[in-house]
Amino acid sequence: MNNSACRSALVFALALSVSLTTLARGYFNDPAPLTVPHPTSFAECRQFFPEGRPPVVPKRPALRELCYEAFAVLHSGETKTPVFVAQRLNRKSIEDADERRADKFFADARLPAAERAELEDYKRSGYSRGHMAPAGDMPTPTAMAQSFSLANMVPQNAQQNGGSWAKIEQDTRRYVLRAKGDVYVITGPVFEPDAPTIGEGRVCVPRYLFKLVYDATTGRSWAHWQENREGERVSAPITYKELVQRTGVEFLPGLGK
């Protein structure tokens, strides 16, 4: 099954900064502690981006900015997945990340129904609901609950998610524990033209996943790059420049090297 809408996710036009459409404030589907309205503009959660500057993403339809307590999502209504998910981590946030995992996935009601993944799309799809901002990073119960929004998920191979990808997440947490200050992490999917889809909602299945790590203290950055398939191993990170070339997104405007 293919979805031509997935195509545009990788066909980048000119890399122009665009002002993104924002939604009127809405609500999560879940009850408390998710009933508090959360901002739908990165202007209200700049803390997740180094020097407050979000990535520069080429214009495409149905992009929406979503702020959560512990991460920010740029969501695509075409792929019904994140374009990227941004976090700011440090030693304290990782030390606080001892919440009990609560597997309560939910469709994010701040997104229009036509733009969002539903639980049904993932069910019996053969793919896992793979967190971009990991549940294991979440420092509070509220943040933990919010991380189960499908706006923070992509259809991910179960073996890769629980294997090499989990190791990358663990390695990143371990790095942050020993870092001097804030570490910014940006995680996301990469789609090929004619990407397969799952469910009646046709949620696009990414071919690759990346995780960019930027240590603001040292100015160093690197990126993990994995295929979304069984049998992947953790290999040497790629450079920031290489990541930008592969994705067409300037994740660290003015900072990356």
Residues near DNA (CB under 7 A) are: 31, 98, 101, 103-105, 122-124, 127-131, 134-137, 156, 158-159, 161-164, 166-167, 169-170
Identity of the residue, 104 or 241, whose beta carbon is nearer to DNA in the bound complex = 104
38, 75, 131, 224: the active-site residue:
131
25 vs 101 by CB, closer to DNA: 101
Residue 125 Cβ, how far from DNA at the closest point, in Å?
A: 8
Q: Tell me whether residue 60 or residue 131 sits nearer to DNA (CB atom).
A: 131
Burial of 163 (0-12, 13-18, 19+ CB in 10 A): middle
- Least Å distance, CB 205 to DNA, is 13
Q: How far is the CB of 184 from DNA (least distance, A)?
A: 18
Q: Shortest distance, CB of residue 145 to DNA, whole angstroms? A: 11
What minimum distance in Å lies between the beta carbon of 79 and DNA? 17
In this complex, which beta carbon is closest to DNA, that of residue 123 or of residue 257? 123
- Dmax (CA) for the chain in angstroms is 47
Is 224 part of the annotated catalytic residue set?
Answer: no
Cα separation, 83 vs 63, whole angstroms:
8
Q: 8 or 79: whose CB is closer to DNA?
A: 79
Q: Which residues are catalytic?
A: 131
